[in-house]
Amino acid sequence: MIQNPILRGFHPDPSIIRVEDDYYIATSTFEWFPGVLIHHSKDLVNWRPLTYALTRSSHIQLAGTIDSGGVWAPCLSYHDGIFYLIYTDVKSRMGKFKDTHNYLVTASDIMGPWSEPIYLNSSGFDPSLFHDEDGRKWLLNMRWDHRQGNHPFGGILLQEYSVEEGKLIGPVRNIFEGTASGLTEGPHVYKRDGYYYLLTAEGGTRYDHQVTMARSRNLEGPYEIDPENPILTSSGKPELTLQKAGHADLVETQSGEWYMVHLVGRPVKDQLCMLGRETAIQRCYWTEDGWLRVEGDDASPKLEVQPPDLPLHPFPKEPDTDDFDAHTLGLQWNTLRIPASPDWLSLTERPGYLRLYGQESPISINRQSIVARRQQAMACEAETSVEFQPSHYPQMAGLILYYDTKDYVYLRVSRDDELGRCLNIFQSVNGTCEEIMSPEVSIAEAGACRLKVVIQRHIAQFFYAEEGSVDWTAIGPELDVSHLSDEADYIRFTGNYIGICVQDTTGTRLHADFDYFRYTELE
């Protein structure tokens, strides 16, 4: 059986395609770099991270991007030997206005290189590209309406895209204003048996999220709404493990079986989802009167799903430990807003170590020296070893749980005027940061220090071990870290990361060397 979620941890807004015998899913990456992670499967059961699409600063400029801004809802498609990827770069999102710029990149190989971006429009987010049977291509996106008294989700816009001219052409039409559920977004169009099927996400990307369907004989509408909508939702079903089901895309297998990928959330406490919005999959079928249904006929997301009639194709398991022996970071790693570049990150200056040069503070939206990976299990632990010789208290390095600039928990090596080199934990909750311990824990003036965190659902315990010690010592109390979630503050869209970082707000760019990083799932 397929076990959901198929992409665990922060992997929202999935877009899926099949190219011959290969399946690819692209997901949102927001302010993390590189942009748009693409996963690969041969059987819809086993998935592996394959590549990133937006790997250059010319693809996406994220320095200065707000929390949960950046790359939203990519759409991956394929036609006549070319991969097309459309994405939104969100520069502002709070209040009446949203600045949402939509771009297109292409590649002849899923591994790239991807082209320089073509600007499309800024009228809304969640763009997708539909390749019609006559060869014409059409951009769809939701429209944002800032006017007083108007619903801000103003329908689904349609405009033709000219490959030859490299731009949108012709009139813009609002082809669908949504259902009574509202907040209509995430459009995808499919052509089947003479109908254009319009799949949308409605109800908002929280606990009333849902997938809805409409169809028309004409791409421009009018669209007939599925009388059984929503065709997938967790709304009103608190007993389900998979919540927030919505924002979906469809794929047909080689043998004509249909599957729907969609985002979900799994709360660790109350309605708090530390792992962010994840990707799940459901088996579907078409009714005799031409509507799509999720297998099980109750429109609920299932934890276990019947796989397609395809040979199983497992991939090697990712090692728990990265010893930093490679010359480039692995696919599990992301940097925050800025690319990994030699001016602040090196895997070669001291072979076998990751060297990070300190930059701005943990609240910066510009240049932070942080390398982190997604938390992908509710029970896990992470461990590293750091060599760092701070001379002033503004110099810090260590192990961090990081959601965004407002919410993080940080075990760091620094310096106190009286204690010398020391350890303490910073916890920032909704922008209010406090030191967990007073006084700080003094450690030896030189040598490596190992740092570890163990997470059990919403509780985290930190540990340390000085050089020469094989035993771990708990530091600080057990901490409630459920604020590292989508719902803890305002609406936001990423998920908890676990990583290593260095700050030097004196501007001298003191470096720290990390010998390894181990991430182990405990469930």
pLDDT digits (tens, 9 = 90+) for 238-254: 999 999 999 999 999 99
193 domain residue, yes or no = yes
Residue 262 near residue 283, CB atoms below 8 Å: no
Domain shared by 109 and 195, yes or no: yes
In terms of residue numbers, what domain contains 286? Answer: 2-305
Q: What's the confidence (pLDDT) of residue 312? A: 97
For residue 148, pLDDT beyond 80: no
Domain boundary residue, one of 279, 305, 331: 305
* Catalytic option among 185, 208, 278, 322: 185
Q: What is the pLDDT of residue 491?
A: 84
Note whether 247 and 139 are same-domain residues: yes
Q: Which residue has the tokens 């001291």?
A: 350
- Same domain, yes or no, for 280 and 325? no
CATH number of residue 75's parent domain: 2.115.10.20
Cα distance between residue 134 and residue 278, in whole Å: 35
Residues 283 and 370 in one domain: no
pLDDT band, very low/low/confident/very high, at 523 (cuts 50, 70, 90): confident
Same domain, 298 and 338: no
**CA 36 distance to own-chain centroid:** 8
- Which of 244, 272, 305 corresponds to the end of one domain? 305
Confidence of residue 98 (pLDDT cuts 50, 70, 90): very high
| CA–CA separation, 478 and 275 (whole Å) | 19
98 and 141 housed in the same domain: yes
Percent of the chain's residues with pLDDT above 70: 100
Q: Which residues contact 507 (CB under 8 A, 6 or more apart)?
A: none
- What pLDDT shows up at residue 202? 97
The reply to whether 269 and 375 lie within a common domain is no
As a whole number, mean pLDDT of residues 89-115 equals 96
In a 10 Å sphere around its CB, with 0-12 CB exposed, 13-18 middle and 19+ buried, how is residue 216 labelled? middle
Mean pLDDT of 382-400: 97
Do 342 and 226 belong to one domain? Answer: no
Please indicate, yes or no, if residue 312 is contained in any of the structural domains.
no
Place of tokens 């076998």: 352
What SS3 state is found at 344? coil
The chain-wide mean pLDDT, for the chain, equals: 97
Give the Cα separation of 456 and 378 in Å (integer). Answer: 6
Assess whether pLDDT exceeds 90 at residue 489.
Answer: no
Per-residue pLDDT band for 487 (boundaries 50, 70, 90) equals: confident
Q: How far apart are CA 424 and CA 404, in angstroms?
A: 20
| 329-377 tens-digit pLDDT | 999 999 999 999 999 999 999 999 999 999 999 999 999 999 999 999 9
Q: Is position 185 annotated as part of the catalytic site?
A: yes
Catalytic residue among 13, 322, 440, 504: 13
- Cα gap 13→269, rounded to integer Å: 23
Torsion region of 274: left, alpha or beta (phi above 0 gives left; psi -120 to 50 gives alpha): alpha
Q: Is residue 414 in some structural domain?
A: yes
How many CA atoms, within 13 angstroms, populate the side-chain half-sphere of residue 519? Answer: 20
- Of 344, 347, 244, 253, residue with least CA distance to 300: 244
Domain annotation covers residue 314: no
pTM score, whole prediction: 0.97
Q: Domain count of the chain?
A: 2
pLDDT confidence bin for 488, thresholds 50/70/90: confident
Domain end position, chosen among 305, 340, 365: 305
CA angle 398, 402, 403 (to 5 degrees): 175
- Measured CA to CA, the distance from residue 62 to residue 70 in angstroms comes to 6
Q: Does residue 486 lie in a domain region?
A: yes
Domain at 352, CATH number:
2.60.120.200
Is the domain of 334 the same as that of 291? no
Q: Is residue 411 part of a domain?
A: yes
Q: Which of 152, 141, 18 is nearest to 88 (CA)?
A: 141
User: Is residue 310 in a domain?
Assistant: no
Same domain, 79 and 197: yes
Per-residue confidence band for 438, with pLDDT thresholds at 50, 70 and 90: confident
Residue 149 confidence (pLDDT) above 80: no
Is pLDDT above 90 for 512? yes
In degrees, rounded to 5, the angle at the alpha carbon of residue 453 between the alpha carbons of residues 449 and 457 is 180
- Encoded tokens for 450: 């190992």
Does a structural domain hold residue 313? no
Please tell me the distance from the alpha carbon of residue 508 to that of residue 203, in angstroms, as a whole number. Answer: 49
- pLDDT number for residue 151: 82
Can you count the helices (H) and strands (E) in the chain? 0, 40
80 a catalytic residue: no
Q: Indicate whether 208 and 292 sit together in one domain.
A: yes
Residue 331 sits in the same domain as residue 183: no
What are 76's strand-pairing partners?
A: 85
Distance, in Å, from the CA atom of 206 to the CA atom of 456, rounded to the nearest integer, reads 24
DSSP sequence for 118-167: EEEE-S-S--EEEE-TTS-EEEEEEEE--STTS-SEEEEEEEEEETTTTE
Q: So what's the pLDDT on residue 150?
A: 78
pLDDT category of residue 277 using cuts at 50, 70 and 90? very high
Task: Provide the pairing of β-strand 15-19 with 22-27.
Answer: antiparallel
Tokens, residue 386: 């750091």
Strand pairing class (321-322; 15-19) = unpaired
